[in-house]
Structure 1
Amino acid sequence: MTTTAEANPRLESRSGRFFARYYDAMTQRAEEKWGRPLRTLMFGELTGDILEVGAGSGANLPYFAKADSLVAVEPASEMRRQLHRRAAEVPLDVEVVDAWAENLPLPDDAFDTVVCTLVLCTVTDLPAALSEIRRVLKPGGQLVFFEHVRSPGAVGLMQDVLAPLWKRAAGGCHANRRLLTALRDAGYRVRIHEIVRPWPRYPTNTPYVRGTAVPLPADRDR
């Protein structure tokens, strides 16, 4: 079954619609080289109730083999059309929700795991999105993520310079987002499992980090 919640009124840009339409074609080479094994590693053993934030065109859906339930949130209409098609092809019952990460129309304490892959670089208000993820996680739940982060050194400085242009060209992606710092500031305990520097390597999105983040109890946040 698939359903759609009420959409956030924030408008999609023309570049965002173009990016969504051709994203799968642009990432096909990376998917064949390292994307599929990585998805199997990250999601194949996840159980319980799972929320994927920014599910895109649904590339992750076939890999949630042991999940009890899956809610897939995606605000981009072009991506969501593809997501609906893929949701109908997997054996798991997937609920598709039209919403932004900063305002999830979902109940508190509802999910064992929240999944984010290459999406937290695009959210407009990262602290709000991390707060929403924390809200919908069950006590003891986890955020599983694979995201690119700002590089140290000269590459990071280049990302700072390119960030405004890249944001307009790549569907709102922030080339220099300091995600790990933001997670810790939001009260998560972060565990980095792997730093990934695939080839070919583009200066706007390297390195990638695979990790988990667990919300700390409120009295230990600071």
Structure 2
Amino acid sequence: MTTTAETNSRLESRAGRFFARYYDAMTARAEEKWGRPLRTLMFSELTGTVLEVGAGSGANLPYYAKARALTAVEPASEMRGKLLRRAEEVELDVEVVDAWAERLPLPDDTYDTVVCTLVLCTVVDLPAALSEIRRVLKPGGQLVFFEHVRSPGVVGLLQDVLAPLWRRVAGGCNANRRLLGALRDAGFQVRVHEVVRPWPRYPTNTPYVRGTAVPLPLTAVRDRRG
């Protein structure tokens, strides 16, 4: 049986280096067209302590205009190198941490906001990652996310068929992941703010969802599960 740690190690060695080297160049057009306005919308008003899970090369860092401090978690070594360099270029107090989403070396009830952008599709053990996010959020805190979700209908079926190949060529991305249901199962109240279908629309990885999720009290979670 393959463990989460073993799978994560393979992703780092096979896809992590490639994505770290070329990801910014591959996404430059999308960043210019719709990425920057989206990041401004999502992050410019966040305040207090923020944790970004899977911070990558640090594309979000310049947009945290009002945050007091940021912890940026990134397990891929080459991505983390770019992240460290970008962290030196912003005025915000940034702590860079080498860790996987499924096992955050961070204390309970610490962050006002957790941010995930195009990362929950790549985690190996999604329930474990969501449990960790819930653990480190302060009471009343929120998860802010922009992520792939499985498309409905025929496109969703196509995503299911292509999923094994897509994971191999896209750094472990599970673009057909049923994220909203997983968030609810993990005890979050989910609010979808926007469904994004950027052009060109590749069937392997659209649509995207921008939203927020707030942890429900544990008593409410137990009642929901019966």
Q: TM-score, normalization: structure 1?
A: 0.95
Q: Is the 8 A contact 1:16 1:170 kept in 2?
A: no
Hey, what's the Cα distance between the residues in 1 that align with 2:194 and 2:15? Answer: 31
Q: Distance in 2 between matches of 1:94 and 1:181?
A: 32
Aligned to 1:152: 152
Unaligned runs of 5+ in 2: none
* Partner Cα separation in structure 2 for residue 203 and residue 85 of structure 1: 34
Q: What letter is aligned with 1:179?
A: L
- Which residue type is aligned with residue 16 of structure 1? G
Establish whether residue 95 from structure 1 lines up as the match of residue 95 from structure 2.
yes
| Mapped contact 1:16–1:172 kept (Cα < 8 A) | no
How far off is 1:204 after superposition? 1.1
Q: Distance in 1 between matches of 2:202 and 2:80?
A: 27
Higher relative contact order (CA 8 A, sep 6+): 1
Deviation at 1:88, TM superposition (A): 0.3
Cα distance in 2, alignment partners of residues 72 and 21 from structure 1: 19
CA distance in 1: counterparts of 2:20 and 2:163, whole angstroms: 19
Supply the AA of the counterpart residue of 1:215: P
Question: Are the counterparts in 1 of residues 51 and 114 from structure 2 also a CA contact under 8 Å?
Answer: yes
Query: Mapping of 1:70-149 within 5 angstroms?
Result: 70-149=70-149
Q: How far 1:21 moved relative to its partner?
A: 1.6
Whether the aligned pair in 1 keeps the contact of 2:20 and 2:79 (CA below 8 Å) is yes
* TM superposition shift of 1:15: 2.6
Q: Shift in Å at residue 93 of structure 1?
A: 1.1
Partners of 1:16 and 1:162 lie apart in 2 by 21
Identity %: 83
- Equivalent residues of 1:180, 1:190 under 8 A apart: yes
Deviations 1:24-76 (A, max 9, x none): 11100000000000000000000000000000000000000100110000000
The answer on whether the counterparts of 2:149 and 2:178 sit within 8 Å (CA) in structure 1 is yes
Letter in 2 for 1:26: M
| 1:57/1:86 contact within 8 Å kept | yes
Q: In structure 1, what residue type is equivalent to 2:183?
A: L
Task: Give 1:20 deviation, angstroms.
Answer: 2.4
Distance of 1:114 and 1:175 partners within structure 2? 21
- Tell me the residue number matched to 2:205: 205
Corresponding residue for residue 5 of structure 1: none
How far does the alpha carbon of each residue in 1:165-221 deviate from its partner, in whole angstroms, 9 at most, with x for none? Answer: 110111110021000000001010000000000001111110000000000000001
The aligned residue for residue 61 of structure 2 is 61
Query: Structure 1: any 5+ residue segments left out of the alignment?
Result: 1-7
Q: If each structure's helix is expressed as a fraction of its own residues, which one has the higher value? A: 2
Q: Match of 2:165?
A: 165
Q: What is the number of equivalent residue pairs in this alignment?
A: 215
Instruction: Describe the SS at the equivalent of 1:189.
Output: strand
Map Cα deviations across residues 85-121 of structure 1 (whole Å, 9 max, x no partner).
1000000010000000000000000000000000000
Matches within 5 A, 1:43-54: 43-54=43-54
| Aligned structure 1 segments of 4 or more residues deviating by more than 6 angstroms | none
- Please give the TM-score of this superposition, normalised by the length of structure 2: 0.93
